[in-house]
Structures are given as C-alpha cells and as structure tokens.
Homo-oligomer: A and B are copies of this chain.
C-alpha cells in the first residue's frame, strides 16, 4: 500500500525484515492520527502486539502469527542444548493464545509449525513458509482487485462500510482492492465511507487508507447512505464479509444489512468482497449464526487516549450487536479471486471444493 505523507509506495502492514530478522508491523492503533512502524524481535513482544491490537484484520493477524513461528525458531537457535520440540510448542501455544477465536491465525500458525517440524527446525524454510503464506494471501487480494475491476466504471460513486482495506489484509484489502486497482488504472471513482458506528472503523481506517491512495472520498454518518441513494449519488455498494455460508448468506459489520435493504429498494448493485477462507463450509443456515453482543460502553462512550467521554444518557441501556446477517437475495455479486460470482456460481464453486 501507499503511505502518502511518507512518500512510501509499497508498504505492507505486516512484514519481515530480511536484513535484521525481525517482524515489522504498522501500528494500527495509531491510525489515522499517527503513523509508526514497530519492530518486534521476540515472540513475547510480538504476542503482546497481537493482543493489544497493534495489528488487526484476520489475514494480517494470520501473517503476523506465521512470522511469529519463524521468530520462535530464531530464538530456539540461540539457546544451547534445549529440547527444540518442547520449546517450539511452548512458543506456538503462546502465539495461539493471543486471539483464541481467530481462524486465520490458527491456520497460518499450524502450517508454518508443520514446516518447521518437517524441516528439522530450519529457520530459512520456516520463514519461507510464513512469507509464502503471506504472499499467497496478498496475491489473492490483488486478484480480488483485478477481477473486481470488471464491475467498476469510470465515474462510479461507491459506498463502503467498515474496513476491509490493505491494513487488515497485509496489502490491497478485499472490499477496497477493486477500488484501489480501478483508481491505479486511471478510473475516476468516488467513495462514500460510512463512519461505521460504534467503533468508527470507516471514518478512521478506511478513510485514511483511501487518502493514502489519493482516492476521492467523503465520510458520512451511517444513516446518510439511503438519502444519497435516493438522490442517485451512489451507484454501487462494495463491502467485505466476516463469514460467508455455503448458500451465500454473509455476516458482516452491523449496518451491512440496512445498506443491503436500501440498495435493493433503490436498484443499486450490492457486492460483498472476500478471500476464499471467509467461506464457512460447516454452517448450513443463517440460524446458526451467533451474533456477538459487545459492550454498551462502545455505544455510550467515546474512547480516546486520555480516557473515555460519555456521549449518552448515563442511566440508559444500550444494545450493541457487532454483526448482522445479509441473505443472498439482497446480494448482487460476490467479488472473489475466482471472479465476480452470482450466488448460483458461488454456491456451485463452494460445492466443487
């Protein structure tokens, strides 16, 4: 990704420094107010970075964890006469415990760990595995962007929600990938960015990412999107997905469903963009989704560096679901590395696997 003010043209949110063997993370906690790349030379510090949300976004966390296994091998190399298997298992457990529910993290860690075991704890091979897993994912995002290009026209005004950009996926992003690729290829696009209450990932992170790429955009309160649709100011919706069922039902950040209903009402195409790993091959119906209920505090307060400010009636309760569910009948297409698919095509390809 580009970092405009630093004049950087090709930065990843997660990377391995070849010269000095450490993990580099863009500190996402500081975005959009500050930009800093942190270096991590020990597994303990890297685990702390995952726990404290220096890195966020399932794929970016996965990549960080994979590099963490390489870092673990490096640490083990320095110790004399240790039981390598025991030591590695210990460090792997530590990495897995940072975000116990993150699927990509577990997946990436196990693959890298397996390579480490199979190559008799070879640092070079383990690092190569971590890097290739990361590269594959970045490549998939780039392909999502390239395939998604077909639905973006010069002059499009696109609505997006929450954040599914390069920071979260190491590079390119999912929902933002086609937009970034279209812009880089000279298509003039305008993006309306839902601020995405309560955590404001759109106003903070997506808007910052679009600024870095120099893409024309405006932040709006979430309730403004429907009004813009009625005024023909939005002609496309592209957003991500946290999970996609076998029938094409998606769960994504709260607010997605409201946009989908409004898009349908205004005959505006609605696309969800995601890597293939987002597909949940086990769940059968939307009834199985458990919607995470988060703290009232996120709605009732605004958290900032020095503390939090109450922004609602103190004695009122708040209801704060993290996600909602959008059925396939409201989805015009799925932007994936296998192409922009209809629900029928998506379901078929899932079955093929």
Contact = CB atoms under 8 A, between A and B. Distances in A.
Contact of A315 (B203, B211, B319, B320): B211
B321 A254 contact: no
A227 B316 contact: no
Nearest to A316: B207
Contact of A313 (B203, B258, B302): B203
Contacts of A227: 254, 257-258, 321, 324-325
B312 A302 contact: no
Contact of A258 (B193, B225, B299, B320): B225
Given A230-B257, A254-B227, A265-B265, A300 B221 contact: no
Contact of A261 (B204, B219, B262, B318): B262
A152 interface: no
Contacts of A104: none
A261 B198 contact: no
A100 interface: no
Interface string A250-267: 000011011001101100
A313 B226 contact: no
Given A262-B262, A309-B302, A311-B204, A226 B316 contact: no
B192 A312 contact: no
A110 interface: no
A197 B194 CA distance: 12
Contacts of A37: none
Contacts of A196: 223
B195 A299 contact: yes
B265 A226 contact: no
A261 to B, nearest CB: 5
Contacts of A299: 195, 203, 219-221
A290 to B, nearest CB: 13
Interface string A183-224: 000000000111111101001100110110000011111111
Contact of A224 (B219, B224, B254): B254
Given A223-B254, A258-B226, A316-B207, A302 B302 contact: yes
A200 B311 contact: yes
Nearest to A194: B223
Given A312-B204, A314-B33, A316-B219, A195 B195 contact: no
Contacts of A261: 226, 261-262, 265
Contact of A197 (B222, B230, B304): B222
A85 interface: no
29 contacts: A33-B314, A195-B299, A196-B223, A197-B197, A198-B221, A203-B313, A211-B316, A217-B316, A218-B317, A218-B319, A219-B299, A219-B300, A219-B312, A221-B254, A222-B223, A223-B254, A223-B255, A223-B258, A224-B254, A224-B324, A225-B258, A226-B258, A226-B324, A227-B321, A230-B324, A261-B261, A261-B262, A264-B265, A302-B309
Given A203-B313, A221-B222, A227-B257, 13 more contacts: A192-B319, A200-B311, A203-B318, A210-B316, A211-B316, A219-B300, A219-B312, A224-B255, A227-B254, A227-B258, A227-B324, A261-B261, A261-B265
